[in-house]
Chain A
Amino acid sequence: MNKPSDQRSRMLVIILTGVSLVLWCYLFRLFLNGSAPLEGDAHPYLGHVRFYLENITRGVYPLWNPIDTYGNVNEFFLRRIGEFNPFFWTIVFLTKSGVPFLIAYRLFLVAYFFMGIAGFYLLSRQLFGDRLASFTAALLLLFSCIGASTFESFLLLEIVPFIWFSYFLVAFMKAPQKVFLLGAVFSLMVINITYIPFYFYTILFIFLICFFTVYGSRIGVAYRQVGDFIGRHKVFPCLCAVILVVSFIPGILWYQQTRQGEALTMQRHNGSQDVNSTSVSINKVNEGGIIPNFIFDRQFVDLDMVGLHDFYVPLFAYLMLLAGVWGRLNRRLVVFFVFGFMIFLIGLADASYLHRFLYDHVSFFKYFRNVQFFLWFAILPVFILFVVEQMLIFIEDCRQSRVDRKWMTVWVVMVHVFAVGLFLFKHVGCLTYAVIIFNLAWMLGRIWSVGSSRAWVLLLWGAIILQPFEVYSHIAVDYPPGYQHPYAEKYVLSPISLEDGEKTVHFKKRSKTDMFRQDLPYFSTRWLYEAMGSIDGKTLENYLGASFIVYDRVEMITDKSDPARLRASLARFDNIAFVYTDTAQGGDGLGLPKARVITAADKDFEVLKFDANDVVVRTSFTKPCFLVRTQNYHSQWRAFIDGKPAELLRTNICVQGLWVPAGEHVVRWQFGTPARYVLAYFLVVLYPFVLIGLIWLWFRSRASIQKLPI
C-alpha cells in the first residue's frame, strides 16, 4: 500500500469507526433514550449507583441504606459497583447540567463501554501492530453481546478495567514507562474495589500460566525489564505499590464484616458450610455455568430472538474461524487457544473437573458463582483476538503461490457454501446472507488482490456489522414495553385485565406488602430474615412502617422463645419491648396499654438531623422510656446520649432500642467507625487524583506512546 492510499484507508477506517458508533447507538436507541427499561442486574445497579452518588454529592459516604429492607448494610452494594470508580462522576456532571439521572446513567454506561472498545483497539494495536486488524477486533467487540449486556448486566463495570489493564500490561512489558505502570495500577485499583475481583484474578493467573508456558524464554526478559524500571524509578513504583495495596482495603474490610454473618445473601449462602456469609455452596455454583449447546443454539438460528443476555458474536468471526483453519499455527494462537480453553473449562462448573478442583483448593472460588460470566469476561475477547490473528495469517497466506491461492479459494468458497446451507433452513434474514456475500467478496478479493484497499475495508466492515444490525434491530422493535423480570423484586407488572383484554403491561411501583408476600430479600441483615421467619408479613410490615416507637416496659426473651407472644405484641403494638439481654429489663409498665408510635415531631420528640449513617433526635420525656428505632439492628450501629455512649440493644428480633432518661437529651445513632469514614473519603479523593495523574502522564508521554514498538 503506498502512502496516499494508506492515508485514505486510514481516513476511511476513522469514518467507519464513527459510523459504527452511531449505528450502535441507533440500534440501542430505546435503551439510550429511556424508552426501554434496564434489564436484569443493570436495574439494581442503577439503584446502587444513584443512592451512592446522591449521598456522596451531599458529603455523606453511605455505609448504611435506611431505605432498603428497613435498613441494610450498604457496603455490599458499594462493593458491587466499585463506588470509587471516578468515572461515576460524569453522571454527576451530566445531572448537574440538567440531564435527567436515568438518561445520564445510560449515557455513562455507553461512554464507558465505548471507552472499553477504545482500550480493546489499543490492546489489539499492541498485539497485532496492524490498524485493520485492530479495527476488526474493536468492531467485533462493539457489535458482540458485550455491548448488549450494557443494559442488562453489571459485566461492563468489570470488563472495561479488564481490557485497559491488559493494554497497559502489554504496553508496559514492551516498553516500561511510568504511564503504563500507573495505567495498569489504576485499572487494578478499579477492579479491586468491586465485590468480585475474583473473576479477574482467575483470568490473570491462567493467562500468565499459559503465556509463560508458551513463551518461557520471556520470563527472564520480563524480569530484567521490570527490574531495570524499578532501578531507574525507585519512588514511583513504590508509590504505585502503596496505592494498589490501599485499594485492597475496602474488599478486605468487607470480607471481615461478612465473616461475622450479620448481613447475608440468603439465596447465595443457602447450603454453604463456610462461616463467611457471602460464600456459596458448590451446588449453588453448579446451577450456573456455561451451556455450550445453548450458546450455539442462539448463534445461527432465530436471530430475531437474541436477547440482551444472549451470547452473540457477529457471523464474520465464525466464517473467519472456519476459513482460517488451514492457516499456519503460531505461538500467539496457541496462547489464545489454551487460555480460552482453560477458562472455558472453569466456566463449565461441574461439567468439567477443573472448577471443582479450584473450588476445593483455591479459597476465593467459594465466594463467587455465575462462572458462566467468564464467557463475557475472557472467552469472548480472546476468541475475537484469536479470529483476528487468523485473519492476519489469512492475509499473509494470500501472498503464496498461485496453486496455494487456488486451494484457498476452493476452501473459502466451501466455507461460504456451507454457511449458506446452514442458514437456508433456519429462517434468518437477508442481512445474514449479505454478510456471507460481503465476506466471500472480501476474502476472494484479498486472495487474488482484486480491488483497492479501501474496497477491502468497506467489504470487511459490511461483513462485520450487517448481521448485528439484523440481530439488534429486533431488540429495539420487539422489546416488551415495561417488562422487567418474571420474578420482579423491585417492580411488579400490573395484573392483566380480564375484563377488557388489555394487552399492554405497565409498571407499578411495588408496595411494601409485596416484599413480604414474595421472596426473601436478596441481601439483608440476619435479624430481618429471622423476623420474617417468625412473624407474618402483614404484622411485620405494619410494625416496621413506624419509624420511632416509645415503650414503658422492657422484658427479656431469647431467640429460642416461642414467637407467638412477641408476634401478638407487635401486632397490637403492646407497650412492651423484648430484648435479648437481662441488663436492660425494666420499666414500670404503668403507662398506656399500647406503645406510643411517633409519626411527627412532638413537644417531647424532634428529629434534629438525618442522613444515611447518622440520626440525631432531641427528647424530653417525663420519665425514662425505651426508644425503638425501627431500622434493622446491626452491631456497627452505635448510640450516644448527650455525646456519651449508650447501650444499643437488639429489640423485637430485628430493630434497635435504647433506654432514654427523663428530661431533655440529645440521642444520636451513628453507623460505622470514624476510621472507616476517613478511609472512604480518602479513597473518594484518591481515585480521581490517580486518574488525573494518569491522563497527565499520558499526554506528557504521547510522543513516546506513538513510537511504541509494535
Chain B
Amino acid sequence: MAMVSFKSVYTKIADLIFRRVIFLFLIGIVLSFLLIDQGKLDVKTINTMLPSAVDIREFAYHPAQMDKRKIRNMLTYYKFVCDIMGPDTYDKPAACGIVGYAYYYLGDEKKAIDYLSMANKNYEHFFWINYNLGIIYYNQEHYEQAMNYFLQAKDAYPYTVGFLVTTRTYRHIAKSLKLNKEGLQQSLNQGAEYLKKIYSFSALLMQDPTFEKQFEKKKVDLRLL
C-alpha cells in the first residue's frame, strides 16, 4: 500500500515537473549557470551593476555626504570598463570620464585629470569631459589650461542629450535619475549656464594682462558635474 502510494506520488511529481513547460525553464536555468560565464556577462552589463547612479548625483550636490566606499566601487567597476573597451567604442569616453570623476571625489586630482584626458583623447567633442577638466584646472588655478577646456566645451556639439539617450553607460544613469528628455536638456543647460558665467568674464579677462589675478578674484565655487 505504502509502495503504491509512493509510486502514485512519484508519478504525480514526475507529471507535474518533467512533463510540464516548467521543466524546460529549470533546464534553462541550470544550463545558464553551466554554460554562461557570469563574470563576462557582468562586463557587458556595463550600466546595470555599479554605481548607483543616484550616488553620482549626490557627489555633486552633497559632497559632504559622500560615501567613499561607493565611490571606490564605482571607480573599480568603471576603471575595468574603461580598460577593456576598444578606443573607438562609444562608451569608452563615458566610462573613462566617470573614472576621472570618481578619482576627483576621492581626492586624486592627478589621476582624475589622466582619465578625463584619456576620455577627451578618445572623443574631444564631449561637453562634460571638457567642462570637468576645465573645472579641475580652474580650481587648481591653472587658468590658461582651464580656459582651453572651457573653450572646447563651449565649441563642443551639444551631444550630451543624445549621448545620455544613446550610450549604455549614461542611459542607465539617466534612467536611475528619472531624467527624461527635458531633464537631460535641463541638466545640459545647467552646465551651459555655469560655463556661460565663467566664459563671459574670462573671455574678456583673457585680453587683460592681469588676467590671472582678476580671474582669481572672481573665483567661484565650481564642482564637477
What residues make up the interface of A, taking CB atoms closer than 8 Å to B?
A: 267, 270-271, 283-284, 286-287, 289-294, 297, 302, 304-305, 307, 324-329, 333-334, 337, 341, 345, 348-354, 390, 393, 478, 480, 483-488, 492-496, 498, 501, 503, 505, 518-519
Contacts and interface: CB of A to CB of B under 8 A. Distances in A.
Contact of B165 (A271, A294, A483): A483
Contact of B188 (A304, A495, A496): A496
Contact of A351 (B18, B41, B192): B41
Contacts of A488: 157, 159
Contacts, number: 137
B25 interface: yes
Contact of B40 (A270, A351, A493): A351
A496 B158 contact: yes
Given A307-B165, A341-B31, A327 B181 contact: no
A329 B41 contact: no
B44 A351 contact: yes
A478 B164 CA distance: 14
A503 B187 CA distance: 11
A337 B23 CA distance: 11
B162 A270 contact: no
A563 to B, nearest CB: 23
Contacts of B89: 287
Contacts of B11: none
25 contacts: A270-B88, A287-B85, A287-B86, A287-B89, A291-B48, A291-B168, A297-B48, A307-B165, A325-B25, A328-B20, A329-B18, A337-B24, A341-B28, A350-B37, A351-B38, A351-B41, A353-B35, A484-B162, A485-B166, A486-B162, A486-B163, A495-B156, A501-B192, A505-B158, A505-B161
Contact of B45 (A286, A294, A328, A518): A294
Nearest to B188: A496
A480 B161 contact: yes
A374 to B, nearest CB: 14
Interface in B70-124: 85-86, 88-90, 123
Given A287-B85, A348-B36, 14 more contacts: A267-B88, A270-B86, A271-B86, A293-B48, A305-B171, A325-B21, A329-B18, A337-B24, A341-B28, A351-B44, A486-B163, A487-B159, A495-B154, A495-B156
B12 to A, nearest CB: 13
Interface centre among A289, A345, A483, A501 (most CB of B within 10 A): A483
A271 B172 CA distance: 29
B199 interface: yes
A329 B23 contact: yes
Contacts of A270: 86, 88
Contacts of B167: 486
A172 to B, nearest CB: 29
A302 B175 contact: yes
A501 B189 contact: yes
B54 interface: no
B158 A495 contact: yes
Contacts of A505: 158, 161
Contact of B199 (A286, A492, A498): A498
A655 B192 CA distance: 44
Contacts of B165: 307, 480, 483
A685 B137 CA distance: 65
Contacts of B86: 270-271, 283-284, 287
B168 A305 contact: no
A377 B52 CA distance: 33
B47 interface: yes
A352 B36 contact: yes
B185 interface: yes
